[in-house]
Amino acid sequence: MLPSIHLLSPTALFVFTLFALAACADLYKTLGVSRSASDSDIKTAYKKLSKKYHPDKKGGDEAKFVEVARAYEVLSDPEKRSIYDRHGEEGLKQHENGGGGFQNPFDMFQSFFGGGRPRDEVRRGPTSVSEFEVPLAAMYTGQNIDFMINKKILCDHCRGSGAASDSHIKPCKGCEGRGVKITRQQVFPGMFAQSQTTCDECGGRGKVVTKTCPHCQGAKVLQHTQHYTLEIEKGISEGYEVIFEGEGDESPDWEAGDVVLRVRSKREEGGFRRKETSLYWRETIGVDEALLGFERNLTHLDGHTVHIQRTGVTQPGYVQQIEGEGMPVFDQEGMFGDLFIEYNVILPSTISKSARTKLVEAFQRPRGKDEL
* Pairwise CA distance, residues 183 & 185, whole Å: 7
- For residues 249-275, give the mean pLDDT: 84
* Cβ(336)–Cβ(327) below 8 Å: yes
**Numbers of helices and strands, H then E, in the chain:** 9, 17
Enclosing H/E stretch for 260: strand 259-265
* Pairwise CA distance, residues 285 & 353, whole Å: 20
* Pairwise CA distance, residues 233 & 320, whole Å: 28
Cα dihedral across residues 59, 60, 64, 69: positive or negative: positive
Q: Domains of the chain by range and CATH? A: 12-121 (1.10.287.110), 128-265 (2.60.260.20), 273-371 (2.60.260.20)
Higher-pLDDT residue of 130, 160: 130
- Residue 109: pLDDT band (50, 70, 90) is low
> Average pLDDT, whole number, for the chain?
77
Cα dihedral across residues 107, 109, 115, 120: positive or negative: positive
pTM, entire model:
0.54
Residue in 331, 156, 320, 130 with CA at minimum distance from that of residue 239: 130
> pLDDT value at position 17?
45
> pLDDT value at position 25?
62
